[in-house]
Chains A and B, each alone.
Chain A
Amino acid sequence: MILLDVLDKDLVKVPLTASDKQGIITELVEVVANAKGYSTQQFEDMLEAVLNRESLGSTGIGNGIAIPHAKTNVVKQVTMVVGISRFPVDFASPDGQKSRIFFLVLAPSSAASAHVELLASIARTCTSNVFRRMLESAKDKDEVVRLFME
């Protein structure tokens, strides 16, 4: 599985409006919950799973990118939300750089292979400085999708 297999315009948010780590994660989970019509309980379950994972170590990976992720059986298949923030947010990245590009990845526990492949695909896709800069400058969700499809 690669990033384009799960890229969905309804699961892209530009710009994100939260200004801290917990707020960004909450906002990303809300995007999934709203797009898929999940209940408040399901939203809370997903959020708890992501925050629990975050408590093991930050998913800010440097170069202005963070990839919060978790296993949760609320989702029936591997799901990805892309969010771009206008303002850098501290995600405790190892390089000390604040993040503006966010990928939330949620996967059911039965989809370990696809989950791992998607995370690796995101990491590979974002290795280019130029691509990251273009993503950070994206004006709307259409532009984000177009950049990935190029």
Chain B
Amino acid sequence: MGVPFKDIVVYLDGSESSMTAAMYSIKLAVEHQAKLTAVYVVNTKALSELVKAGIFVAIERDEYQRDLQADADRYLRHVAKLAATKQLEIDTVKLEGAIHVVVRQLLKEQKADLLVLGGITDIRSRREELSSETDRMMRTSPCPVLVVRDDDDIWLEFEE
């Protein structure tokens, strides 16, 4: 167990709450003098599901795959820039596949001692509970997980 944390991973999905988590993890990494890795997963599993379900045609899948790659690059660049404003150099990792599976693999390979997530909402339906990737990552993570509540104060504090 690494306390204080030495190897932190933050998961990004482009949502506002994952950006809050990124800011929080940057501050945490600075305070703990820890290594920080930002990971974004291009959800190729979802793309495959859409083709299989007949929702996407092949040409559309290819177009969206390019869009998703561009999204990933954009968000990872953005978080690296945010970290730089706090004089922190971070690693960025872009993965492809089923989100909770590839994140778990990364955490294990890297021997990370903390996973930082944003975006846990109240359970609104039984079906949702079964399909939330954030929930799956929490349940399958090999290391402790820190869930950052989406909070304006974190943005304000970060910008100070």
A binding-site residues for B, Cβ under 8 Å = 1-2, 4, 53, 56-57, 59-62, 67, 69, 93-94, 109-117, 119-121, 123-125, 148-150
Contact = CB atoms under 8 A, between A and B. Distances in A.
Contacts of A111: 14
Contact of A120 (B50, B59, B71): B50
Contact of B50 (A1, A62, A116): A116
B125 A149 contact: yes
Interface string B33-73: 00000000001001101100111110110001001101100
B128 A2 contact: yes
B125 A113 contact: no
12 contacts: A4-B128, A53-B60, A60-B54, A62-B54, A67-B55, A69-B55, A112-B68, A113-B43, A113-B68, A119-B50, A123-B50, A125-B127
B139 interface: no
B77 to A, nearest CB: 14
A69 B50 CA distance: 12
B50 A148 contact: no
A113 B126 CA distance: 23
